[in-house]
Chain A
Amino acid sequence: MKRQLAWRASLVGVAALLSFLYILPSIPGFSPLPAWWRYVRPLIFAPPPEPISLGLDLQGGMHLVLEVDTEKAVEIAVERRVAEIQGAVEGEGISVARLERRGTRQIFLEITEEKARGAVERILGNYPEMARSEEGRTQFLLTLSGREVAVIQEQAVEQNVEKIRNRVDEFGVREPLIQREGDRRIVVQLPGIKDPERAIKLIGKTALLEFKMVDERSRDRNIVEEALKGKVPEGAEILYEKVLDPQGRVVDRIPYLLEKKTVLTGDVLTSARVQFDPDTNEPVVAFALDRAGARIFGDVTGKNVGRRLAIVLDGNVYSAPVIQNRIGGGRGQITGRFTPDGARDLAIVLRAGALPAPVDVIANLTVGPSLGQDSIRAGVQASIVAGILVVSVMAFYYRLAGVVADLALLLNLVMMLGILAGIQATLTLPGIAGIALTIGLAVDSNVLIFERIREELRLGKTVRSAIDTGYSKAWVTILDSHITALITAMALFLFGSGPVRGFAVTLAIGILINLFTATVGTRVVFDWMTLRGMKRLSI
């Protein structure tokens, strides 16, 4: 009996001490950590030296759920093959009647002369991932295979995660979380962000930079008018430039008739940074191209002196300067009434690169830092008051036994925080609610045991045997109630999202701890009392 008690007592003591050491980094007064903690750390399974982190609802911040338009990624991939095939076919001098993308996954090619068939087939042979079906002697229909579609979609999401991570890193957010969720979704969490709108723009912008020639035919006003009515000439498209007032609101849109063919895209950018235009003193984004890009840029500008070159970002024309002379060095700038922040963000996204597929923001949950602090303060205050109430009721009603139960509650709380620190959980508001509920369960277990002991005492049993029977009979009930609560917690964890999961985790941990403290923790004290020959139990 004595040895068994000693063993259990040391178990409780070790649990309490371990938990306390685990929480130490989270206690404000102990940062920086005392030197001895570092020596103790390897002995206690090396807990993380960081404090328990607070969820976005407590410290403020932004939670974004993005959905990647993977179908668009497929479309872009097919579009790129169209351009490649066009280049190859033209290179062989084959005359093409029609070459276009059909739907998102097909390419249709029609040549004028049947004798070029062999050459075309050779070119198309370079695309084994596209199933070929002939619709006639001069017509080809290529369909992207299902497997290739899956690969493209997968890569699009992966690359988007990568690009978004680069952008966030450059933007400078402390401890961001960028995580893939499911097939097409990306979760982005930015703690402590000050300007949510700006962050969304930075993350969600596709940032596809394109250089396109303004179509020669747009010198004729009539053709432009017709195009605006819907009769866009072959090989051209209409894009708009937004005219902004000083407050940044769109006041007008200027149409441009551009060649559909893209001269260059932002892939070839090696740098992008903010500069100030010496004439207007407005911020501009200056960029530099890599060697291959610079060569193409030089060729195109050299061949088209006097024409206008449009700089297009995500389908909007930013400017369309007239080419004065050949631009050789591969340098240029984007103007467009930027604010300094806007210019800085554009430079960031251009450096990080375009998203391979556009994203939609399907959920945006933002909590300002002030509300977070209010919530913490209110939550802490309420918990303290609730704690004091519970502790006093227990001590008042069950006397010494109540005080023992209160110590068990404290142990409960310390172990809970210790485990949360150990698994590096994030504490959220629902998580705190879960802790509160655990305290409720702990109280219930003790009440069950104490009422049972009282009953046994009323039957005239000795203190020792009343405690024994009380515990063993209450144990069955406690086990049943805790397991049913655990089932609920597991269901919540399986089907819940973020905050609900936090609640489920704290609840489950609390249930397990409580099974320990209510049955081993308090029991140690009572057994010790009876061992010392106590005749009357204050309960």
Chain B
Amino acid sequence: MEVIGKTNIDFLGMRRVAFTISTLLVLVGVFATVQIVRGRANLGIDFAGGTSVQVRFEQPVELAKVRRAIAASGFPEGELQQFVGGHRLFIRVKSSGKPVTGTAAAIEEQLREAFSTNPFIVESSNEVGPVIGRELQQAALWAILVSLLGIVSYIAWRFEFRFGIVATVATFHDVLVVLGIFFLLGNEITLLIVTALLTLAGYSLTDTVVVFDRIRENFRTRRRDSLAEMINVSINQVLSRTIMTSLTTLLAILAIFLLGGEVLRDFSLALMLGIVVGTYSSVFVASPLVYEWRMRGRRQAVGVKRQAQSLH
């Protein structure tokens, strides 16, 4: 059985549209990054420091009443998030720079008083000091930098330098776009999300490598074709694989997104977005970038030659 047979789509012809869309999405991602660095984004307490408490009541609760109770415990800036069903709550208080212990206990106590007829259990509570948060931020940054550096060098060694740079640009593109979408959605950026971003970096890279591999192979076997033809043919040749893999993986992660529980929901959302964006970028961004770069290089080389000739 085959979903798509032999195709002959002119992917390079769509590069202007693709570049425009990508530039816009990447700009959102860059803006999100700037906001994260400035501390204006919705950073999880594992990065920003602070306290979070997740409780489950026996009966649904009224948010306003919870809010009052939290304000009474001395944390009026506490944020609330209610899960499906209404009896599950997530309370978060950002770091105030003070030592961490006691905040969760204070909130619990106030809730117990306010909801004496509606008992609850604490499902999880996290208290993270600001020092740890800063360290984690730094560690995450290092992890991203080192993995990118490693990947560029590997691809540059296996293919050529230009491919390495383009693969990195495409990977950055994917990470930034997903980060931007998360930022726009207002979803919390936690350590787990950073893990998801790095995972999708690896995933989108695989996609790109598969296409590049085919281009490299065709460089050897189809010497007579023009560069544009060669790249288009390569993308078309691996297209069924790209779609098949993406669909299968997407299906699996969709199951985790729908059934995996709250803890894994944002994580799997990031991965799903990553697969979609990664597939798109390997077809519409990475290879066209290689084409652009090569063509410009060639045009310049030709220009230099003409200049050299005119001098004689």
Show the binding face of A for B, using Cβ within 8 Å: 57, 65, 67, 196-197, 200, 204, 360-368, 370-371, 374-375, 377-379, 381-383, 385-387, 389-390, 393-394, 396-397, 399, 429-430, 433, 436-437, 439-441, 443-444, 447-448, 451, 454-455, 458, 473, 476-477, 480-481, 483-485, 487-492, 494-497, 499-500, 503, 507
Beyond A368-B122, A386-B253, A500-B194, list 7 extra A-B contacts (CB 8 Å): A365-B124, A365-B128, A382-B255, A389-B252, A397-B244, A480-B158, A492-B195
Which residue of B124, B147, B253, B264 is within 8 Å of A488 (Cβ)?
B147
B101 engages A393 (CB within 8 Å) = no
Residue of A371, A494, A497 contacting most chain B CB atoms (<10 Å): A371
Q: How far is the CB of B237 from chain A (nearest CB, A)?
A: 7
Q: How far is the CA of A399 from the CA of B247 in the complex (A)?
A: 17
A361 & B205 in contact (Cβ 8 Å cutoff)? no
Q: List, in ascending order, chain A residues with CB within 8 A of B165's CB.
A: none
Tell me which residues across on chain B come within 8 A of A503, comparing CB atoms: 195, 199
* Count, A-B residue pairs, CB within 8 A: 223
Q: Which residues of A contact B15 (CB under 8 A)?
A: none
A20 → chain B closest CB, angstroms: 24
Q: Which residue of A is nearest B249, CB measured?
A: A440
B16 contacts the other chain (CB 8 A): no
**Contacts of B244 on A, CB cut-off 8 Å?**
397, 447, 451
The 8 Å CB contact of B143, one of A379, A480, A492, A499, is A492
- Give 22 CB contacts A-B under 8 Å: A363-B100, A364-B100, A365-B127, A366-B126, A371-B124, A375-B263, A378-B261, A382-B258, A387-B252, A389-B248, A393-B251, A396-B1, A436-B256, A480-B155, A484-B155, A484-B206, A487-B151, A488-B202, A491-B150, A494-B143, A499-B191, A499-B195
Residues facing A in B125-159 (CB within 8 A) are 125-129, 131-132, 136, 139-140, 142-144, 146-147, 150-151, 154-155, 158
Specify which chain A residues have a CB less than 8 angstroms from the CB of B125 in the assembled complex: 196, 364, 366
Closest to B135 in A: A497
Q: Is B87 an interface residue (CB 8 A)?
A: no
Q: Of B35-43, B74-82, B209-217, B223-231, which stretch is located at the interface?
A: B209-217
Chain B residue at minimal CB-CB distance from A477: B213
Main secondary structure of the interface of A (DSSP, over half): helix
The complex places the Cα of A458 from the Cα of B150 at a distance, in Å, of 38
Q: Is B305 an interface residue (CB 8 A)?
A: no
Proximity string of chain B (186-212) to chain A, C-beta cutoff 8 Å, 1 when within and 0 when not: 000001101100110111011001100
Contact present for A443 and B101 (CB under 8 Å)? no
Q: A379-B260, A429-B264, A480-B209 are in contact. Are A390 and B195 (CB under 8 A)?
A: no
Name the B residues within 8 Å of A497 (CB-CB).
136, 139, 191
CB distance from A470 to the nearest CB of B (A): 12
Q: Is B267 an interface residue (CB 8 A)?
A: yes
Q: Which residues of B contact A360 (CB under 8 A)?
A: 99, 129
Report Cα–Cα, A405/B143, bound state, in Å. 33
Cross-chain contact A495 with B151 (CB below 8 angstroms):
no
Known: A386-B253, A488-B198. A365 touches B101 (CB 8 A): no
| B150 contact set on A, CB distance < 8 A | 487-488, 490-491
Does the CB pair A440–B252 fall under 8 Å? yes
- Say yes or no for B8: interface residue by CB 8 A criterion: no
Inter-chain CA distance A370–B54, complex, in Å, is 12
CB distance from B49 to the nearest CB of A (A): 9
A385-B255, A492-B143 as given contacts; A476 in contact with B213, CB under 8 Å: yes
Known: A360-B99, A484-B202. A443 touches B245 (CB 8 A): yes
